[in-house]
């Protein structure tokens, strides 16, 4: 893709106003009348590279996890984009995984909402997250606790940083016993403890 950009994009500078790429997804601002020419040029670079395109409709377009909207005031609005096939199914709270794995599900969804959504869309997204997590068995009190934590954390200008030199031990997770062992290790040493699925769990999820 980098070679394609170096070779072809300069030849399209009269048709393209902007070009932003993440891996193989590209967001562009271009002349409508030149779209077919742009796509034909890009697809001529290599037989294995074939681009498709989507045009903004009703002043909305999706790029990766973000939906961009052009408002009546000609400012931009940002919200979370989900494909029609998205099911809102996440790691179920009753599954045999460490508690911090489940907490990280909440944290990742809330953090993504805070980073992407504008002020007009953030509360609606947080409500969506709450409803989805409750359907996946998460306690409402835990959800609200993590949302409140991230609201407070977002005002901190200095995030916590992990010491990259910290030594780590990885334990096969088998349930409560593993959690208790991890607690003892952390209370008696400076080791960071992480978990991996047990052998039996790996077999269960194999194809």
How many helices and strands (H and E) does the chain possess? 7, 7
The residue ranking higher by pLDDT, 204 or 99, is 99
Give CA–CA dist 109/86, Å, rounded: 14
CA 13 to chain centre: 31
Interval 56-75 mean pLDDT: 89
> Smallest Cα–Cα separation from 28: which of 51, 7, 45?
51
Tell me the pLDDT band of 69, cut-offs 50, 70 and 90: very high
> Can you point out the beta strands (E) in 71-150?
76-80
| Residue 203 confidence (pLDDT) above 50 | no
pLDDT in tens, 154-176: 655 444 444 455 677 877 777 77
Q: Per-residue pLDDT tens for 97-148?
A: 989 899 999 999 999 999 999 999 999 999 999 999 999 999 999 999 999 9
Structure pTM?
0.70
Q: What is the mean pLDDT of the chain?
A: 84
> In this predicted structure, what is the pLDDT of residue 116?
94
- What pLDDT score does 161 carry? 46
Q: Categorize the per-residue pLDDT at 86 as very low, low, confident or very high, splitting at 50, 70 and 90.
A: very high
The pLDDT value given to residue 200: 41
pLDDT, residue 163, reads 46
| 87, 97 contact by CB (below 8 A) | no
Q: Which residue has the higher pLDDT, 65 or 167?
A: 65
Judge contact between 81 and 66, C-beta under 8 A: yes
Query: What does the pLDDT read at residue 166?
Result: 64
Token reading at 180: 């208790």
| Tokens 């939906």, residue located | 67
Q: Cβ(16)–Cβ(38) under 8 Å?
A: yes
What is the β-pairing status of strands 60-63 and 76-80? unpaired
* Chain centroid, CA 143 distance in Å: 18
pLDDT digits (tens, 9 = 90+) for 38-63: 999 999 999 988 998 899 898 999 99
Q: What is the pLDDT of residue 199?
A: 43
Question: Tokens 């911090």 appear where?
Answer: 100
Does pLDDT of 67 surpass 70? yes
């Amino acid at each position: 893709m980098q070679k394609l950009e170096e070779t072809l994009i300069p030849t399209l500078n009269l048709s393209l106003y902007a070009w932003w790429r993440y891996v193989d997804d590209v967001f562009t601002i271009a002349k409508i009348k030149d779209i077919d020419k742009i796509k034909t040029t890009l697809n001529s670079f290599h037989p294995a590279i074939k681009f498709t395109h989507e045009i903004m409709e009703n002043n909305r377009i999706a790029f990766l996890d973000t939906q961009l909207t052009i408002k009546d005031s000609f400012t931009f609005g940002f919200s979370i984009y989900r494909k029609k096939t998205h099911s809102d199914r996440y790691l179920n709270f009753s599954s045999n995984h460490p508690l911090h794995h489940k907490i990280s599900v909440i944290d990742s969804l809330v953090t993504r909402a805070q980073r992407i959504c504008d002020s007009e869309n953030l509360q609606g997204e947080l409500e969506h997250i709450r409803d989805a997590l409750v359907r996946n068995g998460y306690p409402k009190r835990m959800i609200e606790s993590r949302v409140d934590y991230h609201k407070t954390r977002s005002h901190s200008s200095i995030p916590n940083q992990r010491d990259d030199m910290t030594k780590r031990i990885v334990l096969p997770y088998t349930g409560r016993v593993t959690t208790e062992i991890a607690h003892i290790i952390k209370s008696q040493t400076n080791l960071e403890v992480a978990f991996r699925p047990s052998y039996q769990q790996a077999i269960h999820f194999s194809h």
